[in-house]
Structure 1
Amino acid sequence: MIGRRARGLQQIGQGLGTLDREIFEAIAESPSPLLDSVMPRLTSAADHSKLWIGIGAALTAVGTPSMRRGATRGLMTLAVTSLVTNQGAKRLWKRPRPDRTPVPLIRRSLRNPTSNSLPSGHSASAAAFAVGVGLESPPLGFGLALLAGLVGLSRVATGAHYPGDVFAGFGIGAAVAVLGARIVPPIVEAPPTASELLRLDTPPRPAGEGVVLVINPASGSGTGARVVDEVKAQLPRAEIVEVGEGDDIADALRAAAARAEVLAVGGGDGTVSCAAGIAVDAGLPLAVFPGGTFNHFAKDIGCDTVAATVSAIRNGHAAHVDVIRFNEADTVINTASIGAYPAFVRVREKLEHRIGKPLAGAYALWRTLRSDQAVRIAFDNTTLQTSLFFLGNSVYAPSGFAPSRRSRMDDGLIDIRILETGRRFARVRVLTSLMLGRLVRSPLYHELRVPEFSFVAVDGPTPVAHDGEVENSCEEATFKVLYRALPVFRPLGRQAW
């Protein structure tokens, strides 16, 4: 019985091998000027992954955020695949290269490989890069998959590999990319809400009529002074209120709001948060000039440059966004947190440009879990201990404990992420789930999307940070969405949401 099965499998293998050689000979002997001219150039371009490295560099330089993420994932997947293929798979099964005699001389590649034929390293790298990019940017991945298929064809057409070698390489590259996605999940874009932007009907202000800008020229290591100069040059009728280090910027903003048609502010997210609350209370639209270190709010509304904000004011382009009212007094425009989350973000942002956001996030999480900043909170009939508590204005992507961007800022929701650290072996369980890409399914991870959220600090007042600054300590905290309460000037022609 076993002998018959073994003979049957052997016959199947022999049949596939014969078919493999026959397909190779059919392609190799095919008289085609197109194959003669294109295939050698394409296979040469893919030598040492030059083609994919070049495409990755171009995507990183000029691509969209999803394309840049795809390029990073694709190149990392390619590197792992090359190691697996050349140091592992090629040593498992000895298979000689095809006889290149039937291949026209003009079509043969200049390099005559001497390594094992199975699997095709070029094909494995091509599939790894294409699938890796496609996990972050599916439309681009589809185009790269077609190019990867042509690279695989070029390996057969130039006599370097049998078709079976190419398919084996494709399988290895795709498998490594899929496994990588389980370990470091790709960012899944949050689906857009059904509603359209609520635009503000406001007149164009070509010279900045009615605009009062409050700014500290010394902010942002001199960025504030540059903003002042550009606004004076481009919006000559705007009033500019310059405050110093010892001045109370909240008082200056309230005084400006009393006489402004448009309240404008220059500074980082903490200053913008203060201005947003005053603008909501005064019923005024807000114009934001980036003048801080990260300027997350300005970037998310498309005003990451002075020119973008100036253009929106001149053209009368404004739309409403949500803000969160914290304990009926403070305003949150981006995020709030308790525990060690601010330290987690600082470590991640310090390292993400050197080692990439996934690895930086994992290292920051490990560092944070070792710290002793746990807080016990009670909410929704639940009491738990956490070191990492994130609360965002509108829904952030991706899921998991590395939220980084918003698809909209007017969805009427609060995004809450809580990592529970008080259970037995919590650190090991969290880190293991993170490495396996299963954190969002861990019972220690809690994610809520609600219009209102409250908690009580069980052991007494705890510091609450929001928008990059620690404001106060409180024992009870309530966060409520003010749906589309803040009109902001922003470029409507290049909507991120």
Structure 2
Amino acid sequence: MSAADRLVMRYSAALPHTPADSALTRLTRSADKGRLWWAIAAGLATRKGPTRRAALRGLIALAGASATANLVGKPLLPRRRPAAEVVPEVRRLHKRPTSSSFPSGHAASAAAFVTAAALESPRLGAVLAPLGAAVAYSRIHTGVHWPSDIGAGAALGVVVALATRHWWPLHTDARAHTAHPADAPALREGAHILTVVNPNSGNPADDPTAEIQALWPHTVIVHPEPGADLRAQITGELRRRPGNVKALGVAGGDGTAAAVASVAADTGLPLALIPAGTLNHFARDLGLRYLADTDAATRAGEAVGIDLGEVEIENDEGTARRWFVNTASLGGYPEMVRMRETIQRRHPKWPSAVIAMVRTLRSARPLRVRLNGEYLLVWLLFVGNGTYAPKGVIPSRRPALDTGLLDVRYLRADRPYSRVRFLLAVLTNTLETSHVYKQCDLPELDVAILDGNRRIATDGEVGPLGRRFRFRSRPSALSVYRPGRQLP
């Protein structure tokens, strides 16, 4: 330790006795093994959006910083802790740590969690920063660390937190871009809107029907009939109201929204999308967060044209067509989607996706296909409506909704140890240079199954069997109500 370390310790020890002594002692104990930060993360995770992402990123950074400090730093750089007599007896911990003093694990964990949280929510980071600083200083105040231990630990925590961006890019709440305004009638209080509400898309206790009726007293609300084809049900409702419906509304998850959007595209009606349901990536990409966003757009008659994905499915019974607003998939992807949603009921989305991916790849059967004329053996095939970001294995958002392209990704099964190499590339974030994982943006894709029929999944819903699938991007195929500017 340096002369500066001893000088700072003397100044700290000379501070007069105050109630802050007992407060800092309790604080430093609460941070043992990261318990304080785990408790804060549990509270933050109850709220969706940046707050929940901050909690998850914070815990990931905390785990990395703690492991690096305790399993690498302390064994490699042993240092004796300050003597107990350095500080007054009232401040001393009853159980003093016996591990190496350098670097401080408490400071590393605090800096990692606070920095990671600040990456997702700067306001939250500003709120947590004083607490993190207090935890770090408490180690000096109680006489168990030298100041340089704290500085090194804090620096380590910041570096680990910033490094999380390498594997998990920062999420942006900015809505996806589209340069195509669309004509749509201005409709007040839900007049001339046929609204499909699916209470089963999320928590039944959060049924949005009452809220929609209060804001749109003139809308006609339809609930999906159990076991019935939703598209056919909506089409029937339109036939019973010829000329009276000027827009279709929908409140539900991505599967429900896709079904209503397909009818809107076929009939030329604009879509009023209401954020609801457990998974609504479509609404998030459009920048629609609340019913008030949709209401503002319908009142003003503000709408945009966006692309839709289309797939023709050929089987022994003929040819069928399906629209998709988000994604379509073959091979292991449908199973991975179902497994991820099951795991996600108890765990965060990102870890759930990784767990589902590993389990799916372990039991998947290779798929023999002809992709735009090229013969391949693949484990799974993903087709996104538009170009997704990031380009890694877990596409999460679309920067634009009018690219006229499909995001095509597949994992090859004809290369040695392809699944192991794929997982290693995921862990090291080197998928873009991987020889087993391919990503490309195409306007069309022709997929022929060479070993029987396979089932397709569109927007998280498992669809029909087929032996040939023709995917296309349909530019500006759907008009969607969206405010002219992003609301605060």
Partner of 1:371: 363
1:164 CA displacement? 2.1
Amino acid at match of 1:186: W
**3-state SS in 2 of match to 1:383:** strand
1:337 CA displacement? 0.7
1:263 CA displacement? 2.3
Partner of 1:113: 96
Q: 2:248 touches 2:264 (CA, 8 Å); kept in 1? A: yes
Q: 2:176 touches 2:400 (CA, 8 Å); kept in 1? A: no
**3-state SS in 2 of match to 1:128:** helix
Q: In the aligned structure 1, how far is the partner of 2:207 from the partner of 2:22?
A: 54
Equivalence map 1:220-239=2 (5 Å): 231-239=212-220
Partner of 1:8: none
Matched, 1:331 2:323: yes
Indicate how the Cα distance of structure 1 residues 221 and 112 shifts in structure 2: closer, same or farther if over 3 A, else same.
Answer: closer
Q: 1:118 touches 1:165 (CA, 8 Å); kept in 2? A: yes
Amino acid at match of 2:267: A
Matched, 1:278 2:245: no
Partner of 1:473: 466
Amino acid at match of 2:246: E
Partner of 1:124: 108
Q: 1:42 touches 1:154 (CA, 8 Å); kept in 2? A: yes
Q: Which moved more, 1:319-328 or 1:333-342?
A: 319-328
C-alpha RMSD over aligned residues: 4.3
1:453 CA displacement? 3.6
Amino acid at match of 2:150: V
Report the TM-score, using the length of structure 1 for normalisation.
0.76
Q: 2:199 touches 2:252 (CA, 8 Å); kept in 1? A: no
1:333 CA displacement? 0.7
Alignment equivalent of 2:475, drawn from 473, 476, 482: 482
Equivalence map 1:62-141=2 (5 Å): 62=47, 65-79=49-63, 81-82=65-66, 85=69, 90=74, 93-98=78-83, 101=86, 108=91, 113-115=96-98, 116-134=100-118, 136=120
* Structure 1 residues 397-437: Cα deviation after superposition (integer angstroms, max 9, x where no partner): 44322223445534444222211122222122223333444
Q: 1:27 touches 1:156 (CA, 8 Å); kept in 2? A: no
Report the TM-score, using the length of structure 2 for normalisation.
0.77
Amino acid at match of 1:377: V
Q: Which moved more, 1:159-168 or 1:143-152?
A: 143-152
Alignment equivalent of 2:147, drawn from 148, 163, 188: 163
**Consecutive unaligned residues in structure 1, runs of 5 or more:** 1-16
Alignment equivalent of 1:390, drawn from 382, 388, 402: 382
Higher alpha-carbon Rg: 1
1:97 CA displacement? 1.1
Indicate how the Cα distance of structure 1 residues 77 and 47 shifts in structure 2: closer, same or farther if over 3 A, else same.
Answer: farther
Amino acid at match of 1:272: A
**3-state SS in 2 of match to 1:378:** strand
Indicate how the Cα distance of structure 1 residues 138 and 353 shifts in structure 2: closer, same or farther if over 3 A, else same.
Answer: farther
Partner of 1:209: 191
Q: In the aligned structure 2, how far is the partner of 1:194 from the partner of 1:239?
A: 29
* Structure 1 residues 59-78: Cα deviation after superposition (integer angstroms, max 9, x where no partner): 3234x634422322322443
1:261 CA displacement? 1.4
1:162 CA displacement? 1.6
Partner of 1:344: 336
Q: 1:77 touches 1:129 (CA, 8 Å); kept in 2? A: yes
Indicate how the Cα distance of structure 1 residues 450 and 256 shifts in structure 2: closer, same or farther if over 3 A, else same.
Answer: farther
Q: In the aligned structure 1, how far is the partner of 2:14 from the partner of 2:62?
A: 31
Indicate how the Cα distance of structure 1 residues 343 and 76 shifts in structure 2: closer, same or farther if over 3 A, else same.
Answer: same
Amino acid at match of 1:238: T
Q: In the aligned structure 2, how far is the partner of 1:396 from the partner of 1:84?
A: 33
* Structure 1 residues 111-141: Cα deviation after superposition (integer angstroms, max 9, x where no partner): 6735353332321222232344356557765
Identity between Structure 1 and Structure 2 (%): 34
1:343 CA displacement? 0.6
Amino acid at match of 1:124: A
Indicate how the Cα distance of structure 1 residues 285 and 126 shifts in structure 2: closer, same or farther if over 3 A, else same.
Answer: same
Aligned length: 471
Partner of 2:423: 431
Q: In the aligned structure 1, how far is the partner of 2:350 from the partner of 2:181?
A: 36
Amino acid at match of 2:334: P
Q: 2:28 touches 2:138 (CA, 8 Å); kept in 1? A: no
Matched, 1:297 2:297: no
Indicate how the Cα distance of structure 1 residues 305 and 330 shifts in structure 2: closer, same or farther if over 3 A, else same.
Answer: same
* Structure 1 residues 448-493: Cα deviation after superposition (integer angstroms, max 9, x where no partner): 234444444344654332121314524241312323x322234666
Q: In the aligned structure 1, how far is the partner of 2:21 from the partner of 2:372?
A: 64
Q: 2:405 touches 2:473 (CA, 8 Å); kept in 1? A: no
Indicate how the Cα distance of structure 1 residues 146 and 399 shifts in structure 2: closer, same or farther if over 3 A, else same.
Answer: farther
1:285 CA displacement? 0.9
Indicate how the Cα distance of structure 1 residues 209 and 239 shifts in structure 2: closer, same or farther if over 3 A, else same.
Answer: same
Partner of 1:261: 246
Partner of 1:251: 235
Q: In the aligned structure 1, how far is the partner of 2:64 from the partner of 2:44?
A: 20
Partner of 2:3: 19
Amino acid at match of 2:473: K
Q: 1:393 touches 1:415 (CA, 8 Å); kept in 2? A: yes
**Consecutive unaligned residues in structure 2, runs of 5 or more:** 313-319
Q: In the aligned structure 2, how far is the partner of 1:191 from the partner of 1:299?
A: 8
Q: In the aligned structure 2, how far is the partner of 1:156 from the partner of 1:221?
A: 49
* Structure 1 residues 329-381: Cα deviation after superposition (integer angstroms, max 9, x where no partner): 43211111111201101111211343433432232222222334432333456
Q: 1:336 touches 1:464 (CA, 8 Å); kept in 2? A: yes
* Structure 1 residues 78-113: Cα deviation after superposition (integer angstroms, max 9, x where no partner): 346446655775566250315655x6889x566673
Q: In the aligned structure 1, how far is the partner of 2:223 from the partner of 2:175?
A: 39
Q: In the aligned structure 1, how far is the partner of 2:385 from the partner of 2:481?
A: 18
1:442 CA displacement? 1.9
Amino acid at match of 1:352: Q
Q: In the aligned structure 2, how far is the partner of 1:219 from the partner of 1:162?
A: 57
* Structure 1 residues 19-47: Cα deviation after superposition (integer angstroms, max 9, x where no partner): 3444435643787x9x9787874564343
Q: 2:196 touches 2:222 (CA, 8 Å); kept in 1? A: yes
Partner of 1:9: none
